[in-house]
Amino acid sequence: MPGPILTEAALTVWRALEGGPADVAELVARTGLDQSQITVVANDGEAGGFIEVETRPRDEVDADAAAPIGDALPERRAARLLSKAGGAMAMAEFVAAAQAAGLAINEVFKWGGARGWIKRDKSGVTLLAQDFEAEQPDEAAVRKSLAGQRFLDEQGGDPEPVRKLLASRDDLAKLRKRTQRILRLTDAARAALAAGVEVRRERNQLTSEDFRSGAWRHTTLRPYDVTLAAADVSPAKLHPVRKIIEQTRRAFLELGFEEVVSPTAEVAFWNFDALFQPQDHPARDMQDTFYMADPARAALPAADVVRAVKRAHEDGGDTGSTGWGYTWHEERARPVVLRTHTTAATIQALARHPQPPYKAFCVGWTYRNETLSYKHLPVFHQVDGIVIDEHANLATLLGVLEAFYRKMGFEKVKFKPAFYPYTEPSVDVMVYMESRKRWIEMGGSGIFRPEVTEPLGCKHPVLAWGLGIERLAMMRLGFNDIRELYQGGLEIVEGVPLCR
């Protein structure tokens, strides 16, 4: 039978054990290996019948945090007080004296009683022992532990009183239950050593020297338990809302749309008036819209556009509408607001490019004067798209919406009537959410009213739709509190896998 093949570590341990048994701590000290390496050798050796491992329970005296000892022990100081007073004191007297000395009364009685030094009863407090200055067994144990003898069994003396005294006294020292493992070579191992063993080089990691020198040829990489979990890491990723925004942009770009933008701080004319929103409409209230203090007012577009919009509001102008029947004021169109919707961007794209065919979209922050709650933010993203086309009509609107929402990942889409102020007809888009097993209202859409398009020089029907990005993000990614999205916590990013 060929001899065992040992690792270098095993050979080191075996050699260290040739002189006699030793425990793991001793082997660490003697071999320079670490505890886990010795454990591997012990387990392998035990399995091969070369090492016997004996386990013994032992008490470790952990005195690293020891504070009161010797002159600091409160019960000893109390005993001295009693001794000086002749061995007995009335309770009140004793309490006063002990407190003056800075002693905690309950500790004095607890530990003084446990040591059999101090007794209290109706008559007062009595000193029972005179040898209270002698070193106590637990004090000796603490002293030895601090000197390096941490285990009770190596300190000599009777361990029982120490165990009893330290059992509940954490401030002095902690008794820890340890297991001592003593390794011993079997006869088989000694015989193998005598016959000569083959040594194998074993490493956790190959070095570049190993590769260069060819040492890897006779080196074994320590086997791992390949089923164990590894460290938890997450790749650097895009924010989940960004993912949805990018998906939305891609959908529009794939469908042939031009991406457009408009200023964050927008003149009321483009945010409201151009969309046939009457000047006394509640959405224009300070309650609902952020107005800018600086810049507070801005210029209006070309005079002919302003005039046409004014007429649409007042009596419909040439649009065939009755208008709103009020006097439209230029001044009320000048305030600068934080844009309340991205339609402020698409309507300007329409004004720049009123001829068909044209498709434009805008994604961006929009602002509503709200406080923060789990459902609402004063700032959120919207996306808006428009289609100007000779074939634009309600049927093609539904076709465009179907194509768009498919690209957004919703296979099942249905439509219901809705009522929005600047589209006629208006359509709500419902999408079927597999994850929730129900239809969810996802966005609004419609055909711009002629009062919106005609003053801007557009004579064709214009399809328009929009949706809120955060709502989609919350639905799709399962967040419940919208505020979490923008607080900066990385769990929001890490919690959304790339596949979602």
Least Å distance between CB 392 and another protein? Answer: 7
How many C-beta atoms lie closer than 10 Å to residue 122's C-beta? 5
Q: Applying CB under 8 A, does 106 fall inside the site for another protein?
A: no
Q: Are 47 and 1 in contact (CB under 8 A)?
A: no
Contact yes or no for 220/8 (Cβ under 8 A): no
The residue from 35, 419, 436, 459 that contacts another protein (CB under 8 A) is 419
| Residue whose CB is less far from another protein, 67 or 498 | 498
Calculate the CA 496 to chain-centre distance. Answer: 12
- 450 preceded by cis ω (within 30°)? no
Interaction pattern, residues 455-494, with another protein; x per rule: CB under 8 A: ------x-----------------------xxxxxx--x-
Using CB under 8 A as the binding rule, whether residue 371 contacts another protein is answered as yes
Q: Which is nearer to another protein, 170 or 280 (CB)?
A: 280
Nearest Cα neighbor of 495 from 241, 300, 227, 234 is: 234
Q: Which residue has the tokens 């890897």?
A: 216
Which of 399, 412, 435, 481 is the binder for another protein (CB under 8 A)? 399
Pick the binder of another protein from 341, 359, 471, 476 (CB under 8 A): 359
| Order of strands across the sheet that contains 174-185 | 22-23, 174-185, 51-62
Size of interface with another protein, in residues (CB under 8 A): 98
Nearer to another protein, 356 or 468 (CB): 356
Q: Judged by CB under 8 A, which of 30, 184, 190, 242 binds another protein? A: 242
Question: Contacting another protein (CB under 8 A), which of 182, 394, 433, 440?
Answer: 394
206 contacts another protein (rule: CB under 8 A): no
Does the footprint of another protein cover residue 498 (CB under 8 A)?
Answer: no
- Residue 291 as a binder of another protein (CB under 8 A): the answer is yes
Radius of gyration of the chain (CA): 42
193, 338, 386, 462: residue in contact with another protein (rule CB under 8 A): 338
Q: Using the structure block, give the residue that is written with the tokens 């407190």.
A: 99
465 CB burial (10 A radius; 0-12, 13-18, 19+) = buried
Q: Which of 68, 316, 468, 495 binds another protein (CB under 8 A)?
A: 316
**In the complex, minimum distance from the CB of residue 363 to another protein, in angstroms, rounded to a whole number:** 9
User: Which residues are CB-contacts of 49 (< 8 A; sequence separation ≥ 6)?
Assistant: 186, 188
Query: CB of residue 294 vs another protein: minimum separation in angstroms?
Result: 5
* Pairing mode, strands 124-127 and 118-121: antiparallel
Contact 119, 129 (CB under 8 A): no
Q: Which is nearer to another protein, 223 or 282 (CB)?
A: 282
Question: Out of 70, 116, 357, 478, which residue is the one contacting another protein (CB under 8 A)?
Answer: 357
Considering the rule CB under 8 A, would residue 261 count as an interface residue with another protein?
A: yes
CB 157 within 8 A of CB 140: yes
The candidate with the shortest Cα–Cα distance to 443, out of 467, 411, 416, 472, is: 467
Phi, psi angle pair for 335, to nearest 5°: -55, 150
Q: How far is the CB of 265 from another protein (least distance, A)?
A: 5
Tokens (6 digits) for 14: 């075996």
Residue 157 to residue 234: CA distance in whole angstroms: 56
Stretch that binds another protein, among 73-81, 142-150, 178-186, 286-294 (CB under 8 A): 286-294
x/- map, 426-455, another protein, by CB under 8 A: xx-------------------x-xxx----
Q: Which of 82, 142, 401, 431 binds another protein (CB under 8 A)?
A: 401
Contact 329, 314 (CB under 8 A): no
CB closer to another protein out of 121 and 294? 294
